[in-house]
Structure 1
Amino acid sequence: MKSPYVALAVSLVLLSCSSHSKPESLSLEEKKRRLEKLRQEALNLQSQIQELEQAIQAEDSTYGQSKKVAVGYTVVKPRAFASYIELQGNIDNRQTVTLTAKIPAPITRIYVQEGQFVAAGQLLAEQDAEVLRKNLAEVMTRLELARTLYEKQKKLYEEGIGAEVQYLTAKNNKEALEATVATLQEQLRNAQIRAPFAGRVDAVLIRVGELASPGLPAFRLIQPTQWEVKVDIPEAYLRIAQPGQPVEVHIPDLGLSFLSRIATVTQNINPLNRTVTAIVREIPSAYQAQLHPNLIAYVRIAQTTFPQALVVPIEAVQFQDTAAYVYVVQGGLARRKAVQVVATQGGEVAVTGLSVGDTVVTVGASTLADGQPVLPRTL
């Protein structure tokens, strides 16, 4: 602790020196004896100064405090620490389909609306198939006659009365009409748009009276439990982009966060941005009803994990060129101590070079000098 008594001691020493002969006029032995004597006098004076300061502080606890710099501090304790990379991804549904008509024909009826849940095979819409129905009715009439003629020709042929040619002709005519009926029935089924799986109707893209054709979107159907998060990971992080790697997912627009793991990683590296795509599929069921395709999601992946690390706030670490150091409070003084930064996350830094229990200056470190008196406080 600096004190006006220190200046007094220095003055006394200088006065003592001035009362003797100049050093250059003394022999070597005389110089040594005088130096030793002055050192002893300085020690005695310093001891007296400390005794006086302690006596004064015993009666006045605020004495000398104004000369100390108030600083914030933390006591270093070992704890778990991890550094992360955070990447932007998006929500995707791996069973989202756009349904189209199978034949070109106007829409005559729509049975569902947007947001409605449907079962697998449920009828969504019908197209105009009146011509097909009339054709089918006509062919069914002809088929009924063909079957009657066939049965008669078959009976005569089996009794050895009818000619084989007549029997084969009747049989061929019946089978041809049956094939025509099957084709017309299939065409009638194609005039219906049905759900290929159970899900939610996300969009109705047609209206009654519009011409629906193959390739033109009619409905968009989503399977509401097949959500996943896709995120592109730079190739520099391939070592941590592995199936089973734990991740933390945050969806800011919904205020949702959850822990999950990487399900799979694509083998191919995208040559345009040098990334692979990681897919996260374990999403809490309670969140799935709130999700939307292409919703932004942030994925945090741990790069380095330390079960026991000495961690300080990032503002505690100072740099001189590339050398890092902190100030540790020892005996009321700020002592500079070299450290090495091993990992950074958010506003914290894991370092080596400190000891458990060190009192590290966290607020005001940038204005300190080595050996400066400080007063640690909770700031």
Structure 2
Amino acid sequence: MKGKGKGQYFLLIFLILISMLATGCGKEKELVKESALTVNTAPAVKCDIAKSMRYSGMVRGHNEVYITPKMPARVTAIHVQPGQRVRAGQLLLSLDSKDLNVAVKQAEAALAGARAAQVANELSLENARKNFERNEELHKAGAISDSQFEAEKLRYESLNSGAVAASVAQAEAALASLQNQMENCNLTSPIDGIVGSINLSLGETASPQMPAAIVTDTGELEIELLVSEAEVSYIKMGSAVDVSIEAASEKPFTGQVKSVSVVPDPVKRSYAVKVSLPNPEGLIKSGMFAEARVDTQSKKDVLAIPVNAVVPKSGRQVVYVLEMKDKENRAREVEVETGIKNENYIEISKGLKPGQEIITRGNTLVSDGTLVRVVAGGSK
């Protein structure tokens, strides 16, 4: 009985071990079961694509004028305020002109004296002319001496020298100069526009080295962009430009390339591109910071996929194509050649065909042959 009992005991132990081994194998088999990776896809499509670059610049009025006084003088009156619309010729600031007023009166008196002397000279000249002609006849007849004739001739020529007329002209020029200085004491707007700033206060002394005011025409604005030599050849006059100005609006504005410089900046070696920007509602102010997106290269009817679908891998560019295999979706690695791209799409010049489903999200986690599951928005 003891031998039989031991046999039963060992048999029981054997059966338990077999059961444990069977259970362990089942668990191992369950652990190695392949799971699908969730991805998004998009088809490769034919479309027009444009490469764009972003440049920053400052918004300026299409016609912006810095008004600088021509002489130092104290500000006696400010007639406008920043933001006020003005017309061409409208008075902006007045400068002290008391001393000039006195000088003008003196110049007017000097001119009046010069003109009176001119009138007296003309009368004397007419009398001298008659005496000269009479004495010339007497001299020919031998009735007067040479010295008497020469003296009369000298008197006539002296009165006819033009010295008095020159004095009048000089007095007129002196008066005109002072009157011009008087006009310079009234700083006016040379254009229709809006007062951008008044840089002086009442009582301050204006300086020819500093603008007293800025007037800008904000009906049409412009932005100057500095473009590299590698991109400037692709920018065409008249092409549309998306302009973002966060200080004015969350939505972008639409501008237009107005001019493209053919000569680079001598220091920065960049080319100036001017973009015109309509401002009918007056939302944009001169001096605001702007970011412009300019199309540089464009192609029509090319094969393109979302730009984030391309994955750099060991110096190559690859994409993962969705492929059905044994009724399962799997990722297949395809090497591609790319062309121009923008923020959304990239050109595929080699490696794909139109309509192929490309993994766009989750593509950095998959490899060639990975089982995938396409979520809503992609192909199934």
- How far 1:372 moved relative to its partner? 5.2
Q: Is 1:135 aligned with 2:100?
A: no
In structure 2, give the amino acid aligned to 1:346.
E
In structure 2, give the amino acid aligned to 1:257.
P
- With over 3 angstroms needed to count, the CA separation of the structure-2 counterparts of 1:216 and 1:75, relative to structure 1, is closer
Give the whole-Å Cα distance in 1 for the aligned partners of 2:125 and 2:315: 110
Give the whole-Å Cα distance in 2 for the aligned partners of 1:240 and 1:114: 40
Give the whole-Å Cα distance in 2 for the aligned partners of 1:286 and 1:218: 27
Name 1:267's counterpart in structure 2: 262
In structure 2, give the amino acid aligned to 1:118.
V
State TM-score, norm by structure 2: 0.68
- How far 1:153 moved relative to its partner? 4.7
- With over 3 angstroms needed to count, the CA separation of the structure-2 counterparts of 1:375 and 1:240, relative to structure 1, is same
- How far 1:262 moved relative to its partner? 2.7
Q: Is the 8 A contact 1:92 1:228 kept in 2?
A: yes
Whose RCO is larger (CA < 8 A, sep 6+)? Answer: 2
Which of 309, 318, 328 is the aligned partner of 1:324? 318
In structure 2, give the amino acid aligned to 1:95.
N
- With over 3 angstroms needed to count, the CA separation of the structure-2 counterparts of 1:78 and 1:201, relative to structure 1, is same
2:284 alignment partner, SS class: coil
In structure 1, give the amino acid aligned to 2:51.
S
- How far 1:133 moved relative to its partner? 1.9
- With over 3 angstroms needed to count, the CA separation of the structure-2 counterparts of 1:371 and 1:214, relative to structure 1, is closer
2:202 alignment partner, SS class: coil
Identity of aligned residues (%): 21
Deviations 1:253-286 (A, max 9, x none): 32342344433233344465543222212x1232
Give the whole-Å Cα distance in 1 for the aligned partners of 2:367 and 2:93: 80
Count matched residues: 314
1:237 alignment partner, SS class: helix
- How far 1:67 moved relative to its partner? 6.4
Give the whole-Å Cα distance in 2 for the aligned partners of 1:69 and 1:136: 93
Name 1:280's counterpart in structure 2: 275
Name 2:248's counterpart in structure 1: 254
Give the whole-Å Cα distance in 2 for the aligned partners of 1:171 and 1:271: 54
State TM-score, norm by structure 1: 0.68
Task: In structure 2, list runs of 5 or more residues that go unmatched.
Answer: 1-33, 133-154
- With over 3 angstroms needed to count, the CA separation of the structure-2 counterparts of 1:247 and 1:305, relative to structure 1, is farther
Q: What is the aligned-residue RMSD (CA, Å)?
A: 3.6
Name 2:186's counterpart in structure 1: 192
- How far 1:185 moved relative to its partner? 1.9
Give the whole-Å Cα distance in 1 for the aligned partners of 2:51 and 2:285: 28
Give the whole-Å Cα distance in 1 for the aligned partners of 2:166 and 2:317: 96
Structure 1 range deviating more: 347-356 or 107-116: 347-356
Which of 332, 336, 342 is the aligned partner of 2:332? 336
Q: Is the 8 A contact 1:89 1:297 kept in 2?
A: yes
In structure 2, give the amino acid aligned to 1:200.
I
- With over 3 angstroms needed to count, the CA separation of the structure-2 counterparts of 1:186 and 1:247, relative to structure 1, is closer
